[in-house]
Amino acid sequence: MPHRERWPIALTIAGSDSGGGAGIQADLKTFAALRVHGTSAITCITAQNPREVRAVQAVRPSILRAQLEAVCAELPPRAVKTGMLYSASLIRQVARFRFPEAPPLVVDPVMVATSGAPLLHPRALRALVRLLLPRAALITPNIPEAELLLQAPLRSVDELRAGARTLYRRFGCAVLLKGGHLRGVSQAVDLYYDGRTELLLLAPRVRNLHTHGTGCTYAAAITAHLARGLTLPRAVAAAKQFITRALARSYRAAHHDVLHVAL
């Protein structure tokens, strides 16, 4: 029998996007593109397309836990990512779960969809801050999410740098502050800080491109690289290259731009 390549395993805990551009769907495509076996635990079913989120139905916490237990029993992940968690009860379920071998946890603190629809229940923010972010190896907020966590505006690279340090001190984990919403800069700027290493990650800004799922894909790429054994700074740098390439090679589906994550 020919030798079969062994792929590492990663787990995404997030919502399902019926439009296929974000959420669980984006994460699993990204894992596969990076030769990582993707497993999933679905938190919410959304009725959405690139233009709007029409409905959200959260799963029961017991169903989320059953998914986590089923995956970990036979397919223990080497890295875990969270995306849309939506409610305090689902956040508590993830925070309390004990994964085998304590894989690194990447938390993408999804709060609002690209379309503007809320993806985090108002009462869930406190649970996210108190229970889950302190368990993370890395958090990956965009500017609006970071401003909500910091209760302060982020308008420059210097403010990104200060904000990343504040979040690091508050939660005790590495921070990747995604500066795609930063105005007045010609490049796509992200700031990584882990208490020792700082990376200013620059890439050409892709103009006139309207995609959703960029944050999901970016965090999933980091998670995949961690599952493959890269250190956190190297995983972040490699994921920045991956998302930049996916944006540059995006394709059209009907009237919408979609990230192309294939290598």
Q: Give residues with Cβ within 8 angstroms of 254, minimum separation 6.
A: none
Is 23 a residue of the active site? no
Is 216 a residue of the active site? yes
Is 178 a residue of the active site? yes
C-alpha–C-alpha distance, residues 258 and 21, integer Å: 6
Is 12 a residue of the active site? no
| CB 209, CB 244: distance < 8 Å | no
Choice among 83, 163, 179, 215 that is catalytic: 215
Choice among 30, 214, 217, 223 that is catalytic: 214
On the 0-12 / 13-18 / 19+ scale of CB atoms within 10 A, 108 is buried
Residue 87: strand, helix, or coil: coil
Choice among 21, 38, 46, 178 that is catalytic: 178
Choice among 83, 213, 223, 240 that is catalytic: 213
Choice among 211, 217, 223, 244 that is catalytic: 211
**Which residue type sits at 31?**
F
C-alpha–C-alpha distance, residues 57 and 86, integer Å: 10
Choice among 44, 72, 173, 216 that is catalytic: 216
Helices (H), the chain: 23-33, 61-74, 88-96, 124-127, 143-150, 157-171, 214-227, 232-248
| CB 91, CB 129: distance < 8 Å | no
Residue 195: strand, helix, or coil: coil
Is 39 a residue of the active site? no
Is 195 a residue of the active site? no
Any idea which residues carry the catalytic annotation?
178, 211, 213-216
